[in-house]
Chains A and B, each alone.
Chain A
């Protein structure tokens, strides 16, 4: 069964999209997105987006990597297979720093990529927005705002009227499989 999933409106210019985003934000919508083929300066503020929590994921992973790196070498050289190298103590933490650092960077990089995918809800193979023919121009010269149907403020008629009032054109309801 198909149900409304989102409503899109197109805008002519990046500036128009930016101002429309501010209007949508101020109206109290929370589940909406702006689409353009290039990044628009100031869009984060206009949409009222908060800072991405990605840094904390990366930081956590980096610390984990350092602990794993140091722990692995420490365990091998002191417990599992103790060997004396060049007269230095078994627990020679200085020698482990390089691999610890490398593991920190490696885990941090994993955290960055995987965390980014997770926060962007990727991978996903399809989105109802792609059923709209008009929306395809977003990769070329189109600027769109989409408001999700599960936004608490979403109302088929009022939202359409609101999008028209802030300069949106070609307002279209996107239907998709019910979740």
Chain B
């Protein structure tokens, strides 16, 4: 179905792929509406998990693009167009943020005025945690991400025509400033949308935790996406074993970093032993949630670490693909584990988890494929392109 022209690096006949994503997305969203009539409260919870998954993934892609520009890395030039394409979904995600706002009364305890009145801590936090400011911040975060995505994409495409010799420099400068804005916005977005689900609880490292998870998801997503293209006979001699090896190294490094951040978060709370902090972990160590916690420890860290620590496994596409798949699934489980224990005593899988995930994901992937296939799959006029394709460590 997909056709790849290796002389111009263009992808054609992606129509059926787009249709699959569009149709599954629309069906998913339609079923989500049905679910809203069935149990709106549970729907919002499932929806927030899916929203968090896809937003953090897109944020990871944005970070990858900027990191790439700032460091002047050569190896990732051939895969950068995929991260650039995924950045274009932020306007769509802004639309998907609306149901979170509408459902905020069902999701966020601090939106209940009567609860805030009787709660000293919530009153204390009210200047930050109030509905108006929450919406304003959300729009502001998206404004930052959309602006960065739009300009980074525009310069990158301008480079393709050769009309703009200063594009590379501009992208580097923008990324340097962008990473700072990104750090602030993604941290507070994580606080707003995920940490404030339990408004008494706080963890200053939480923003980093969400960021690492998203970046790891982006790396594993790209690995799987290029393995998919490879299986369709596209980009096989552009994204070589060397590039997968590099992706493998990044995945390994950020698996360790994720564990380091998750461990630090747990460790400090365990050590201080303050009830309002420990409660967050205690609810996640009860009944079924304990199983989920253990699954995350084992498959988000232990297994990928032991497998990817070796030189040969990072180069073995089958092994790397399997680990990347596990980690991407684990990112969803991680989001689920952050959101759901705030609402249910025990794990309660629901069909709503699936339809919201497919609903948001289908449209996100649809937009991603359209943008990715529209321009050459690599920055064809970049002077470092040849070096990147032939890249060897």
Contact = CB atoms under 8 A, between A and B. Distances in A.
Contacts of A87: 273
A114 B309 CA distance: 21
Given A86-B273, A94-B270, A95-B271, A59 B263 contact: no
A94 B309 contact: no
Nearest to B260: A101
B228 interface: no
B255 to A, nearest CB: 15
A51 B311 CA distance: 9
Contacts of B266: 94
Contact of B263 (A55, A86, A88, A97): A97
Interface size class of A (residues with CB under 8 A): 10 to 19
A97 B273 contact: no
Contacts of B311: 51, 55
Interface size class of B (residues with CB under 8 A): under 10
- Chain A residues touching B, majority SS: helix
Contact of B309 (A59, A88, A95, A97): A59
Contacts of B271: 94-95
Interface in B252-280: 263, 266-267, 270-271, 273
A94 B273 contact: no
- Chain B residues touching A, majority SS: helix
A55 B297 CA distance: 25
Interface string A80-101: 0000001110000011011000
Contacts of B273: 86-88
Contacts of B310: 55
A40 B266 CA distance: 47
Contacts of B270: 94
A95 B271 CA distance: 8
Contacts of A95: 271
A67 B263 CA distance: 19
Nearest to A41: B392
Nearest to B267: A94
Contacts of A55: 310-311
A89 to B, nearest CB: 12
A87 B271 CA distance: 11
A138 B299 CA distance: 51
A74 to B, nearest CB: 17
Contacts of A59: 309
A39 to B, nearest CB: 13
A55 to B, nearest CB: 7
A88 B273 CA distance: 10
Nearest to B271: A95
Interface string A34-71: 00000000000000000100010001000000000000
B391 to A, nearest CB: 12
A55 B311 CA distance: 9
Interface string B278-316: 000000000000000000000000000000011100000
Nearest to A56: B310
Interface in A97-114: 97-98
A45 to B, nearest CB: 10
15 contacts: A51-B311, A55-B310, A55-B311, A59-B309, A86-B273, A87-B273, A88-B273, A94-B266, A94-B267, A94-B270, A94-B271, A95-B271, A97-B263, A97-B267, A98-B267
Interface of A: 51, 55, 59, 86-88, 94-95, 97-98
Given A94-B270, A97-B263, 13 more contacts: A51-B311, A55-B310, A55-B311, A59-B309, A86-B273, A87-B273, A88-B273, A94-B266, A94-B267, A94-B271, A95-B271, A97-B267, A98-B267
Pairs of residues from A and B, 10 with the lowest C-beta to C-beta distance, nearest first: A94-B270, A94-B267, A51-B311, A86-B273, A97-B267, A55-B311, A97-B263, A95-B271, A59-B309, A87-B273
